[in-house]
Each structure stands twice: as structure tokens, then as C-alpha cells.
């Protein structure tokens, strides 16, 4: 009797999700991997293995998909700020009786010379801004910019992969770009646009960290939006390799 491969569903949208799919596809012959993408990015980078695109229709839809496609385990490798999807995954895993792992790259840690201000949400970040600067480098993504739309006295440089969703700040320049970014480029950007405050989510990872070093060098304050917590009871891996080891143990 041929042995059925273990079917792993990776909820993706991050570099770590892609790396995990690459590792499973290349080195784990007993594993079949399907990556799920939300479909928000116009031209996503597709990982190896099967790929499906678009929402599942909430936790019930995800649980149904898991059952119908014979999924044996789910890895929630979505962005640390994709809190709805992470909650849905936790609920669906219970419904469908499959193990769930959260793959979360570690958050950033402040270093000597950093002038960080912690915020619990984009709205809280917006409240802090007027006291910190006038020319804002906003790197929190294309969604949720409504939180900054009433800050008419401030100017914003918004960097995102795709065009920002309305409503947006009135005084705004958009820079469409996708990381990784390097230190020299970030220094130059801050200087050219006379940025005096940076706003970022605590996304973690190397690809977008050079903006923090550039801000530190320039003595610019940084508003760091804290992560939502991982749903209770869900084990966490910090690297794709750790997640591979979890899959092997199944
Ligand atoms: N939030 C960020 O800052 C950020 C940054 C970089 C990349 N991303 C990536 O962009 C995607 C969307 O992020 P978000 O913050 O909008 O998520 P979210 O608010 O947590 O999720 C909203 C809805 O989008 C759908 N969805 C999200 N991730 C999905 C996935 N991997 N596969 C299928 N459906 C998915 C789900 O729809 P249904 O309920 O219909 O299933 C979910 O309920 C995520 O995959 C995330 O990894 C997010």
C-alpha cells in the first residue's frame, strides 16, 4: 500500500512562509505542502508546492477546507499583524481536529541610541505623532491609514507594496516598493525627504530592519506598533527550520 504524504497547509504572505514551503517541498519527501495566500498583493511571489489564493470565509470555511482537502496539519505563517487570520486558524484547527503551529519571526529589540515610542495600535501611533515630528515616514502597510487621515498639519511619506487604501492623509507622497531595503538606501530616503519621525509595526526580520538603524543614526524618533498576541494555546516556532522540525514530529 503506498503511504499517503502528510498534507501541510501553510497560511502564508510572509518570507518565512515561503521559506517553509521551499524547505518542505525540497527536503521532506513525505510531505505535501499547500500555501494559502490572501490575494491582497497584486503580484505575489509564489512558493513551490500547491498554492491557493483568497479567503476561506471565516473559521468555519477554513475548517471545511481543511477537512475536504485532507489537511493533516496547519502552520499559521501569516504576518505577525494578521490577527484575524490567526484567530480563525486557531478556531478552525479545533473544529477540524488538526494540529496548528504559529510561525512568528521574533520582534525587534531596541538598541542603544534608539528613541522608540511604543503604541498599542495605529490609532495610538497617530495620537503620539504631533508631539514627535512633522514629516512622517509611515511604513505600516497600505491598510489602516485612516488612523492618520485627520493629521492635517503633518506630511507623510507612505511606503507600501501596493497603493494605499483610502482614506489616507491629505498631505502624502506614496512610494511603492517592496523590501528588502538596505541601510544606505534608507539613510538617503530619510535625508531626501527630511523625515523627522518614523512609524513602523514591530514586524521583525532583517528585510525591513535597516530603517531602524537609519533612524537611530539620524537621532529620529520611531513609533513602534506592538504585535497582537498569538492565540492562546497555539505553540510558536520562531524560524522556518523550527517549523520543519515540528512537521517532522507529526
Ligand atoms: N497585516 C500586515 O501588516 C501584513 C503585512 C505583510 C503581509 N501580510 C499578509 O497579508 C495577508 C492579509 O493580511 P491581513 O492583515 O489583512 O490579514 P487579517 O486581517 O488577519 O485577515 C483578514 C482576512 O483575510 C483572509 N486571509 C488572511 N490571510 C490569509 C491567507 N494567508 N490565506 C487565505 N486568506 C487569508 C481571511 O479571510 P477569510 O476570513 O475569508 O478566510 C481573513 O479573515 C496575510 O496573509 C498576511 O500574512 C499582512
From 52, 78, 145, 229, mutation site for ligand 1 pocket: most ligand atoms within 8 A of C-beta: 78
Q: What angle do CA 239, 243, 245 make, to 5 degrees?
A: 115
- Compute the distance from residue 28 Cα to the ligand 1 centre, in Å: 27
Q: What is the pLDDT of residues 78-126, one digit of tens each?
A: 999 999 999 999 999 999 999 999 999 999 999 999 999 999 999 999 9
Locate the ligand 1 atom nearest the alpha carbon of residue 78 and give its number.
47
- From the CB of 39, is ligand 1 less than 6 Å away? no
Count the Cβ atoms, other than its own, within 10 Å of residue 242: 14
Element (H, E) at 237: strand 236-237
Buried b or exposed e, range 32-51, using 16+ CB within 10 angstroms: bbbbbbbebeeebeebebeb
In angstroms and rounded to an integer, the radius of gyration of the C-alpha atoms of the chain is: 20
State the distance from the centre of ligand 1 to the C-alpha of 235, rounded, in angstroms: 20
Does the beta carbon of 12 sit less than 6 angstroms from any atom of ligand 1? Answer: yes
Ligand 1 center–CA 191 separation, angstroms: 33
Listed residue (181, 219, 178) closest to 198, CA to CA:
219
Please count the residues of the chain.
250
Q: Which three cell numbers stand for residue 186?
A: 534608507
Q: How far apart are CA 54 and CA 1, in angstroms?
A: 35
Nearest CA to ligand 1 atom 16: 82
Look at residue 115 in the predicted model and tell me its pLDDT: 98
Q: Is the peptide bond before 6 cis (omega within 30 degrees of 0)?
A: no
Please report, in tens digits, the pLDDT of each residue of the chain (250 residues total): 667 899 999 999 999 999 999 999 999 999 999 999 999 888 888 999 999 999 999 999 999 999 999 999 999 999 999 999 999 999 999 999 999 999 999 999 999 999 999 999 999 999 999 999 999 999 999 999 999 999 999 999 999 999 999 999 999 999 999 999 999 999 999 999 999 999 999 999 999 999 999 999 999 999 999 999 999 999 999 999 999 999 999 8
Distance CA 160, CA 154 (A): 19
Burial of 135 (0-12, 13-18, 19+ CB in 10 A): middle
Whether 45 is in the pocket of ligand 1, judged by its Cβ within 6 Å, is no
Which residue's CA is the nearest one to ligand 1's atom 26?
38
In the three-class reduction of DSSP (H, G, I as helix; E, B as strand; rest coil), residue 68 is classed as: helix
Instruction: Look up cell 486558524; give the residue.
Output: 89
Cis peptide bond N-terminal to 97, omega within 30: no
Nearest Cα neighbor of 248 from 3, 50, 28 is: 28
**130 CA distance to ligand 1 middle (Å):** 30
Burial (0-12, 13-18, 19+ Cβ within 10 Å), 56: buried
* Other beta carbons within 10 Å of 130: 12
What's the gap in Å between 70 CA and the centre of ligand 1?
22
- Assess whether the C-beta atom of 84 lies below 6 angstroms from ligand 1: yes
Please report the atom of ligand 1 found closest to the CA of residue 36: 32
The CA 198 to ligand 1 mean position distance, Å, reads 24
Amino acid at each position: 500500500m503506498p503511504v499517503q504524504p502528510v498534507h501541510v497547509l501553510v497560511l502564508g504572505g510572509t518570507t518565512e512562509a515561503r521559506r517553509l514551503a521551499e524547505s518542505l517541498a525540497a527536503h521532506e519527501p513525505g510531505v505535501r505542502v499547500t500555501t494559502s495566500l490572501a490575494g491582497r498583493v497584486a503580484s505575489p511571489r509564489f512558493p513551490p508546492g500547491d498554492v491557493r489564493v483568497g479567503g476561506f470565509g471565516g473559521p468555519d470555511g477554513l475548517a471545511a477546507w481543511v477537512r475536504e482537502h485532507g489537511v493533516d496539519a496547519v502552520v499559521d505563517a501569516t504576518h505577525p499583524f494578521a490577527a484575524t487570520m490567526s484567530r480563525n486558524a486557531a478556531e478552525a484547527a479545533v473544529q477540524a481536529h488538526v494540529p496548528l503551529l504559529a510561525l512568528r519571526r521574533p520582534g525587534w529589540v531596541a538598541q542603544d541610541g534608539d528613541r522608540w515610542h511604543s503604541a498599542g495600535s495605529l490609532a495610538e501611533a497617530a495620537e503620539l505623532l504631533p508631539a514627535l515630528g512633522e514629516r512622517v515616514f509611515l511604513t505600516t502597510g497600505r491598510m489602516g491609514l485612516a488612523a492618520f487621515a485627520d493629521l492635517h498639519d503633518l506630511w507623510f511619506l507612505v511606503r507600501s507594496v501596493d497603493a494605499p487604501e483610502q482614506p489616507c492623509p491629505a498631505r502624502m507622497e506614496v512610494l511603492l516598493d517592496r523590501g528588502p531595503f538596505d541601510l544606505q538606501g534608507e539613510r538617503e530616503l530619510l535625508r531626501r525627504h527630511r523625515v523627522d519621525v518614523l512609524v513602523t509595526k514591530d514586524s521583525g526580520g532583517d528585510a525591513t530592519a535597516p530603517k531602524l538603524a537609519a533612524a537611530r543614526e539620524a537621532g529620529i524618533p520611531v513609533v513602534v506598533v506592538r504585535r497582537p498576541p498569538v492565540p492562546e494555546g497555539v505553540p510558536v516556532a520562531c524560524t522556518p527550520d523550527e517549523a520543519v522540525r515540528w512537521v517532522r514530529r507529526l
